[in-house]
Structure 1
Amino acid sequence: MWMRAPVGVLAGCLLWVCMPAVVSAASCRIDTASDRASSTLKKRLSSDCTEHDRERYKVQAVEVLAAIKQGKSIDLAGVVIEGDLRLDELHLGALPPGSERQPIDPASTARVVPGALSVTHSIVRGAVRHGTERDALIVKGAVDLSGTRFERTVDLSHAEFLQPVTLSDAVCVRECYFVRAGFLRGLTAEGTAFGPHTRFHRARFHDRAAFRNARFNGLAEFLEVEFHPDADFTGSAFASGTGFSGSVFHGVADFSGARFEREAFFTFTRFEGDARFRGTVFRAIADFDDARFAGRDEFSGTVFEQEAKFARVTRRDQPPAPGGQDRPMQYGITLTLLVISAALIAYLIRSR
């Protein structure tokens, strides 16, 4: 009889110790569909899964790449992805219909992501890379990366997205590059936190670009970008040097309430629609030299804490003023100043 009490106490203690794991396993719901017959690599962990659960059910980047090669869509939520996702390892194939490159060079090849790509509220620990200039990357399906944290470099330069891309509330801890990328159905990056260097150099937006309340925590390059039709940067924050030189806004360019902590360059920028800078704050030099405003330019409530430059600015039905600098030279100067600004900030931070 006296032996039963210790045994009961021991059983109770074991139950108490194991209970958190049992409760966690019971509350963590996992929705999967990754068998060969499925057209989707799917793993969705519920919001009440613990960090231990996510580590236990993490996904390897090679699994994702293999699924893409098999023509599958990707549907991941609340997961941890381990390893580098090397999209330049996809096989080359014919350009798909709908690509903006197809009418220009129908015989050329590209690396193709055939299905949708959804990785939401997850952690990507490795790099995501394409970046090669030789071959294009064509993503045929919609892309949703909402709420995902990218801990290494994201380089999707020379990619073309045929369907909408969503980056809202995502976090790029390191560099994020979309050089010469094409967004045929637009990009939504509202509340996105970009890292020390963001590049959209010569990107093409064929639908709305929404960067409302985005945070650019480092150098931001939007040089020679085509925005069709509207671009929304309302409430965005630019912590370092920022360049929009040579870009064309074919619709409304809205920077209302944005904050530029360092130099902002809009030299040779064309605003074909309304340019809204209501309540925008420029903490350093704001350079609009040689810009063109074809629509209404609204600067009511704009704060220029340092020099504001508007030399040779032209407006609707007004020819460009002579004497401006050569455009390639001006773009080079802008890029050099941005890099120097970023290097100086990095030096000051390290020397503290």
Structure 2
Amino acid sequence: MRQRTYRGEGFILLLVGVILFCGAWYTLNVSSDWFPSGDWFRHWILYISVIIVATLSCISGARRVFSPSASIDKRNAVRPIRWWVIAACVVVVAGVTWIAINWLLANVSTPAGGAGNPTLKLESIKTGLTVGAGAGAVIALGLNARRQWLTERTQEHTEQDATERRVTELYTKAAEQLGADKDPVVRMASLHSLERLAQDNPEHRQTIVKIICAYLRMPFTCPPNLTSVPNRLPREIVNRRRRIFPSRDRHPSSLKVKRQELQVRLTAQAILSDHLYADKNRFGRARNIRFWDGMELDLTEATLVDFDLSSCHVSKATFTRSQFVGLADFSGTVFEEDVWLDDAHIQGLADFSEAVFKSSAHFWASRFDDGVNFSECHFIDEVKFGDATFRDACTFDNAIFEGNASFEKSRFIAPTAFESVKFKGETTFNACAFESECDFTSAAFDAASKFEGVHFGNFCKFWDTTFWSSITFEGTLFSNLTSFMGATFHESIRFDGVVFLKEVHFTGVTFRQVCWFRFVEFGDHECRFERATFRADARFDDAFFHGLANFQGGRFMSSLRFNGASFASRISFAEAKFETGPRFDGAIARLPRTDISEMWPARWRVDDALLAETRHSGSWARLVR
């Protein structure tokens, strides 16, 4: 406010200067007949003086308004009236009086050859002096207003200093009561005192939130079985928690201290949850009058029990190396800035459904022991789950990743779902391990994606998945049934060096750009490319087909190459359509081949007499035309 007052003075000076300039211009160009003849030199001196005063006023005002070098101390300090301000006021009053007198005298009618009416001239001079006195009165009124403002300002500062001293005393006393040697009831009372203090003094809210977070960062060991925690969870979750934290401490006094400390910590968590809950309407305004906007949370290495931040609004949150015991509820939470959950350990259910991350989110090396729900999450910036571990069911259904998403070296032990997920940025799953089922049904990858070196240990679904940019699965291992049925690849795709140990389905898949299946090994089960459409080149060079290779009804609109490929079982191209002839140069097939249903492309056959030398066991023959 003081800074605005300083700038306000500058605007006033600019306005005065502009008014003086306009008056001088009007007097010179429009109403030059105000000047009595013969006095032009004296009037020009006054005119130049007005111009000088106006220029000084504009320069001083511009310095106050636009000068970035003015320090905060100068802006806040009360400055005495400068001598030139008084001089300018005197000049203004004198100028107004002189202009008024001359204008009135110039309008007094004078008979031809006469000296004019002395009475009218005297009255004109009196009126001009009255106008000058009025101008002086206006300036005096301004000085009185300034004096009144200074008095009110002094009173305001006095009251503000008294309030600050009282707040500081309450703040210091409440912080001292949070000491570890205090009774738990006293500590809870101090937390509520800090809460009330923050509610009444918005400028101290962030500081008080930091104190509460610092208290939660203090070392803490959960009591066994957590029986003192209000049971808001289903019975099976409570029983699972008791298995995770078996009772080890049998000393009654130690148990009592831990349970009391737990109640204090739950009170601190409840204060944060209550005041970060915004309940915003459709216009973005908080309906909760107790909402604290713009708060930052630093809970590094904190131990949080049944932490509930659902539907809250947080500016910045740090949970690095934190330990979450029981439920961790972030459903519907909005994070305005960066979120850090690196190396966090969530031992119970984790719910991030419908959460919004407006800046980057970091889950590097996090551990989720129980189920985790990221369904309908919205990640506006980049997100990193690198080296994370998901031990129970994990779902990202309908989530939106607008920035880059990294799951590099993550481990998914239980079933994982990415159904209808939208990956709008670059996505990386390199070196991931999916030890149970994973589902990418109807997912959309808008940017380049990488699944290099991934291990899919169970059923893997990419049904109706859309890849709008290039994707690579190089070096990936599919240990169980794999299905890409109905998927669409709009850009190039690479499966070089991939191993499919079980059945694999590419039925109905559309490859709009070149696809690479070089050095791919298909296991003993069927490899199905039925009704697949290849709009660009398809390369299966040096691929190895242990089981049935089924390309029935496929449509090949560009070149198809199986150069150097190996076929250990039968193959079928029944009803397949070729725009150009396929190539099997150097390809080999295992003997004997007795299945009469085998369908090779036109003019290609296995020559039983043309044996091939190969590192594979058994007898092999070359394909010829």
CA shift for structure 1 position 80 = 1.3
Q: Which residue of 2 aligns with 1:182?
A: 389
Distance 1:301 1:144 in 2: 36
Q: Which residue of 2 aligns with 1:118?
A: 329
Whether the 8 Å CA contact 1:215–1:237 is kept in 2: the answer is yes
Q: Which residue of 2 aligns with 1:36?
A: 264
Q: Which residue of 2 aligns with 1:95?
A: none
Whether the 8 Å CA contact 2:518–2:541 is kept in 1: the answer is no
Q: More deviation in 54-63 or 234-243? A: 54-63
Q: Which residue of 1 aligns with 2:484?
A: 277
- Which of residues 65, 69, 80 is equivalent to 2:302? 69
Distance 2:293 2:414 in 1: 33
The runs of 5 or more residues in structure 1 that have no matched partner are: 1-32, 91-110, 325-352
Distance 1:190 1:221 in 2: 18
Structure 2 CA distance for partners of 1:250 and 1:61, relative to 1, 3 Å:
farther
Distance 1:187 1:195 in 2: 20
Q: Which amino acid aligns with 2:403?
A: P
Q: Which residue of 2 aligns with 1:13?
A: none
2:433 aligned with 1:226: yes
Q: Which residue of 1 aligns with 2:312?
A: 79
Q: Which residue of 2 aligns with 1:193?
A: 400
User: 1:87-106 deviations in whole A, cap 9, x for unaligned?
Assistant: 23x5xxxxxxxxxxxxxxxx
> Helix, strand or coil: the match of 2:508?
coil
Q: Which residue of 2 aligns with 1:264?
A: 471
CA shift for structure 1 position 75 = 1.6
Q: Which residue of 2 aligns with 1:250?
A: 457
Whether the 8 Å CA contact 2:444–2:465 is kept in 1: the answer is yes
Structure 2 CA distance for partners of 1:174 and 1:55, relative to 1, 3 Å:
farther
CA shift for structure 1 position 119 = 1.3
Q: Which amino acid aligns with 2:264?
A: R
CA shift for structure 1 position 245 = 1.0
Q: Which residue of 1 aligns with 2:71?
A: none
Whether the 8 Å CA contact 2:313–2:334 is kept in 1: the answer is yes
- Which of residues 417, 423, 430 is equivalent to 1:216? 423
Structure 2 CA distance for partners of 1:54 and 1:243, relative to 1, 3 Å:
farther
CA shift for structure 1 position 121 = 1.7
Structure 2 CA distance for partners of 1:236 and 1:285, relative to 1, 3 Å:
same
* Aligned counterparts, 1:93-242, within 5 A: 111-131=322-342, 136-242=343-449
Structure 2 CA distance for partners of 1:63 and 1:308, relative to 1, 3 Å:
closer
CA shift for structure 1 position 228 = 1.6
User: 1:153-187 deviations in whole A, cap 9, x for unaligned?
Assistant: 10110111111111000100000100000001132
Distance 1:64 1:274 in 2: 45
Distance 1:167 1:151 in 2: 15
Larger Rg: 2
* Aligned counterparts, 1:264-343, within 5 A: 264-317=471-524
Q: Which amino acid aligns with 1:121?
A: G
> Helix, strand or coil: the match of 1:36?
helix
> Helix, strand or coil: the match of 1:73?
strand
Higher strand share: 1
Whether the 8 Å CA contact 1:219–1:242 is kept in 2: the answer is yes
Fraction of identical pairs, as percent: 21
Q: Which amino acid aligns with 1:129?
A: W
- Which of residues 285, 289, 299 is equivalent to 1:52? 285
> Helix, strand or coil: the match of 2:299?
helix
Q: TM-score, normalised by structure 1?
A: 0.68
User: 1:106-127 deviations in whole A, cap 9, x for unaligned?
Assistant: xxxxx42334211112311121
Distance 1:64 1:50 in 2: 29
> Helix, strand or coil: the match of 1:213?
coil
> Helix, strand or coil: the match of 1:71?
strand
Distance 1:70 1:272 in 2: 39
> Helix, strand or coil: the match of 1:116?
strand
Q: Which amino acid aligns with 2:508?
A: G
Whether the 8 Å CA contact 1:283–1:305 is kept in 2: the answer is yes
Distance 1:281 1:81 in 2: 39
Q: Which amino acid aligns with 2:347?
A: K
Structure 2 CA distance for partners of 1:137 and 1:123, relative to 1, 3 Å:
closer
The runs of 5 or more residues in structure 2 that have no matched partner are: 1-231, 233-262, 526-539, 544-625
CA shift for structure 1 position 62 = 4.7
Distance 1:86 1:196 in 2: 20
User: 1:21-54 deviations in whole A, cap 9, x for unaligned?
Assistant: xxxxxxxxxxxx9x83747534466686863226
Q: Which amino acid aligns with 1:152?
A: S
Whether the 8 Å CA contact 1:58–1:79 is kept in 2: the answer is no
Distance 2:456 2:295 in 1: 37
CA shift for structure 1 position 63 = 5.1
Distance 1:322 1:305 in 2: 19
Work out the number of aligned pairs and report it: 263
Distance 1:54 1:286 in 2: 50
> Helix, strand or coil: the match of 2:285?
helix
CA shift for structure 1 position 301 = 0.9
Q: TM-score, normalised by structure 2?
A: 0.39
